[in-house]
Amino acid sequence: MRDELSINETDEKTVITADRGYFSVENINQEGQGIELLIASGREGKEEPTEAKDGVYWLERFEYIKESDSWRCPSGRPLVREKKQKLNGRLLLRRYECLDCQGCSLRTYCLKSGEERRTLLVKKKQLIRAEMRARLKQPEKQAIYRKRKWVAEQVFGQIKGGLGFRELTMRGQDHARAQWLFACAVHNVMKAVRHISSLKKEGLASGNEVAMGTVHPLRAQTWLFLVSEHHHVLRPAS
């Protein structure tokens, strides 16, 4: 999975961003060894379904706080974990309970009939997914994730919309890979031609200067997107 996602390298670690199609416990568990994952659970700006059929908020409406191993309800009140974790030697589901639900304006949406305090019974897989959701709410992580819009998504849109390449017509992995790489190569060449043309119009470089590689490195920074031969990933060129 790591090899199939767009990668943004930072000074300290490699950050892998992925859309909701990769949001699974199996993928999240691949984090480690200098890899940080940012996987969205839904579309940016779109709220996930958060109410059950009986109208009570689902777990997704609550925010997990990893540092204190607690949750925060929609009204901002904490749910703390019970200390008892085993019954007859068997592990129990993690149980979190709100200390005080009195006077909460969201009681009708959060509590079932007859309940006085909201409790959450959380499985390990649910906890892993909740940690990722909480991470994506951090402003600095959101800024990194939004780079997908111009690192990968923009290129996919240009290939599909501009080149009209919306599906593979070759059969077999080798032939399909070759066709996809050819489409990406065409995209790269067109991008290079447009960039060189814009430099000439601005009087920043002549054709010979571009060919000889004497253009200022910051002005002639490549806009190409390279394609991995093994995983078909569009990456920003170095």
State the Cα–Cα distance between residues 199 and 177, nearest whole angstrom: 33
237 pLDDT higher than 50: no
Average pLDDT over residues 74-92: 76
CA–CA separation, 59 and 73 (whole Å) = 9
Whether 71 shows a pLDDT value over 90: the answer reads: yes
The larger pLDDT score, comparing residue 62 to residue 49, is at 62
Residues 40 and 63 in one domain: no
Please count the other Cβ atoms lying within 10 Å of the Cβ belonging to residue 17: 23
**pLDDT tops 60 at residue 2:** no
First to last CA, the chain: 22
Q: Is residue 135 part of a domain?
A: no
What is the value of pTM for the model shown? Answer: 0.56
Could you tell me if residue 158 is inside a domain? yes
Q: Which of 24-33, 47-56, 195-204 has the lowest mean pLDDT?
A: 47-56
Question: What is the per-residue DSSP string for 120-155?
Answer: EEE-HHHHHHHHHHHHHTSHHHHHHHTTHIIIIIHH
pLDDT digits 0-9 by tens, 151-163: 777 888 888 888 8
User: Do residue 112 and residue 161 come from a single domain?
Assistant: no
**Is the residue at 51 inside a domain?**
no
Kindly state whether residues 117 and 173 are assigned to the same domain.
no
Judgement on whether residues 155 and 201 belong to the same structural domain of the protein? yes
Q: Which of the four pLDDT bands, split at 50, 70 and 90, describes residue 204?
A: low
Q: Are 199 and 125 part of one and the same domain?
A: no
Report pLDDT for 44: 58
Is residue 166 assigned to a domain? yes
Residues 107 and 157 in one domain: no
When mean pLDDT is compared across 100-109, 126-135, 216-225, the lowest value belongs to 216-225
Q: What is the domain count for the chain?
A: 3
Percent of the chain with pLDDT over 70: 71
pLDDT for 50 equals: 52
Choose one of 118, 148, 178: the last residue of a domain: 148
Residue that finishes a domain, picked among 84, 119, 148: 148
Is residue 236 scored above 90 in pLDDT?
A: no
Containing structural domain, residue 154: 150-236
* Residue 32, strand partner residues: 35
In a shared domain, residues 231 and 164: yes
* Domain-located, residue 136: no
For residue 195, tell me if it sits in a domain: yes
Residue 223's pLDDT band (boundaries 50, 70, 90)?
Answer: very low
pLDDT band of residue 208 (cuts 50, 70, 90) is low
Residue 125 lies in a domain: yes
The DSSP annotation for 92-112 comes to PPEEEEES--TT-TTHHHH--
In this structure, are 226 and 159 located in the same domain? yes
Together in a domain, 229 and 160? yes
Are 116 and 84 in the same domain? yes
- Looking at residue 23, what DSSP letter applies? -
Residue 22 domain flag: yes
Last residue of a domain, one of 96, 130, 164: 130
